Every structure is written in structure tokens, then in C-alpha cells.
Amino acid sequence: MRRYELLLFTIVPNFFFLYRQSRFLNALWKSSWPELVGYLADDAAAIIEDQNPLVNVIIVREGTPVTKDYRCNRVRLWVNEHDRIVRVPRIG
């Protein structure tokens, strides 16, 4: 656990629950993963969840229709027919 995470949870224990979906907290963790393009989807999902515990990773086949809404707790992994990441994973 990083020092500022520990400080955050020690000083203001309810802060995490009140603002867990806010952009402020997402700024404390990583929000995009360009280095994962070409990785297998399951490996990339594990890395993303490890680096940002506030997000839910969703694996989506390339070409699948999805909603256009922005969610600060979601990362979509766009994969090809070989389950390789084809777009930069990012929060949204």
C-alpha cells in the first residue's frame, strides 16, 4: 500500500466509500495502460486490477456494440479473435 493511500484511509476512513467513483481517487491510481496492447486479455485484466483496485475490467470483442456512457470505475479491454488487446485500455 502506498503511503498516501495509508494516510487517506487512516485520516478519513469514510472518504473511500463516499468518493470511490470520483475522478479524484482515480487520479491516485493509473487510468490508462498503453503498454498492454498486444497482451492476452486475462493477463491484462489482472495487471489493471492490480494497478487500480477501483475499476472493473470488462473484456469486449472488437466490433461489439457498447454504451457510450463514461464510467470512472470501468475499463474495457477490446480484444481480437485471438484474445489480444487491440486498443489502449483506459478508464471510461
CATH number at residue 55: 3.30.10.10
- Looking at residue 24, its pLDDT comes to 53
pLDDT tens-digit series, residues 26-80:
556 788 999 999 999 999 999 999 888 889 999 999 999 999 999 989 999 999 9
State the SS3 of 25-91: HHHHCCCECHHHCCCEHHHHHHHHHHHCCCCEEEEEECCCCCCCCCCCCEEEEEECCCCEECCCCEE
Residue 87 included in any domain: no
Residue 74 lies in a domain: yes
| Structural domain includes residue 89 | no
Is residue 91 in a domain? no
Nearest CA-CA partner of 2 in 24, 37, 29: 29
pLDDT of 18: 45
Average pLDDT of the segment spanning 7-17 = 50
Domain that holds residue 57: 3-79
Tell me, yes or no, whether 92 lies in a domain: no
Q: Which amino acid is at 59?
A: I
**What is the number of domains present in the chain?**
1
For residue 22, how many other CB atoms are within 10 A of its CB? 13
The pLDDT assigned to 25 comes to 52
State the average pLDDT over residues 10-22.
49
- The size of the chain, in residues, is 92
The reply to whether 86 falls in a domain is no
